[in-house]
Structure 1
């Protein structure tokens, strides 16, 4: 099988414009028509806003505080260069102080939010980002505030994101960035079932396994769903589906037709292994692939295989929420959230390794931002997968058990040992 290589050496983030130019374009768009400014009178039709106060917000002496995450920054760990560059140019916005938090883990942004609420609620930020899969729990716990915006702002996102951002009565978040799993191939058609994959001889399939973050766990959850497990019922699991899924993984790893990434346990690590060597198949995240796809002639793509057919794509992402306790600052925080969401999705989102959450102009943003632009067929299929995607819930109540099970499988412990993490001895 001929090796599939890029047509020319190029850095991973090959962009038609620099990030600075993206930001400038985003800000022009924001100021020209997408700016959301609370006003004392009814807004124009279709603006997506509703009156916030009896007067336009007045800038406070203290900057609005924003908790951002490292997962949305393309620079060095802890860097806030991308978001700060956007914020500095926002029209008519108050000053913003940015603190970058880890996206996941015991010191991750969700854990820090809950510990701050319990220990020092006065130190909560006015505005922050949260995983889309955590919004329902955050809303139920009273951790986030409703946004004084009509639902069309949230509902403009892909359905899996809009469902968490708007509950039919109130808007709770502005979806910001999304990603999803897909199978990619090298001059081959990805098999639709696990049996077909095992029999095909198109091997190995690079399968990320053994991590603990939501993106890391998505492949394991997708295999479980592909054998009939319901993700909507988590943390409860179907014992038969779980055992079948784990046996397929354990057998594939032992036989060698499944292989873990060379370095790391994430979908992005799987993409790095695919790009650096010659495996015919890999399960990856689309955000890692989209900016390089046009440089790989012969690349194929498909949903993940299941026991009886393809599995709907699993997706995850981030949204902006208002968390501060001071009502007089919530109007300003809403203004910043609206402008930042618009500017970030107009191009910088791709530099950060993600896909825009907003459905409108989705393909245009990617095609005009990336050089060379991804193939139209690839974008059509990716958009269709996002339309039908299932959100990976970020509830930490079940993540630990699944992470342990994945680590067991990755370490060769076997299906029974891995299943016991979720079913008990």
Structure 2
């Protein structure tokens, strides 16, 4: 099967995060199973020629044009990408668009409808009801049409299914399919060696929505019990890094914080293996791939109840799920610190780490995800044939 994955952006530091990572993970497994899966996206931040492949996946990348800089990622586009997408759709069995309100994936999805190419869209929690006027206009001009006419709309959680239905209203969507994120199974890491200082990891885009300040604000309480602990802040900066580092200096904990910047995929897994606890205090996180990657090596996670993985982590005992609310910084930091301290207990860490590893291997492997996706693809193509 010839599958064209279209996503907004790919950069050397993986600053766009989840949707591109999901598209790459799916494409790699699909290609291993004999499908001709390809990635199409804008490229930005590369020195010289844009790469023709990413992690072994053929990639059709086009230089990003910042048409509407005020809208950041939503305001970049490329006429050449859209022209090439239209041409490639004629030879594709199916187009899989990782949809957001932007000038790449939305027009690409509309092109798929116009060319009558079988269309699967995946919204990654990025299409939900909003009071923003520009987003409402975008929904009116195209998003609703795409949701209503796509052959399948993939959602991560029940909350996301309700959200896309609300955007598509008053038409009730009958084409929704749940597809979770998945990662490759990994060997479970060994227990921390006696005498090695504990390590606590934040690995995600360093942006306000991910709440890196809560991670740093929890440091003093943890260091009071574990003065040799190391805290690792990893991931590309998308605006919150200066304030996060300033807070660390203000609290007097900057010397215990290692800022390592963006990491490649294998480096992400290595960071998870070196960590004793993974922390992502994001107020909202549909189904974080970085959380799954940490748990895949046996590192327990501290996440918030509004994270899509919250119910799974809580039920499995794969870490700690905390309540966190915007505007309650001191209370949030205290809850993060308490959860970290509980998981630094060797026995609790071993139990939660084993549960995290089991959870990923039972419910969130990329092979299981791609099997579900393949069934969806085949159903879509068969319906079109009829």
> What TM-score, normalized to structure 2?
0.37
Tell me which protein shows more strand as a share of its residues.
2
Q: Which has the higher contact order (CA 8 A, sep 6+)?
A: 1
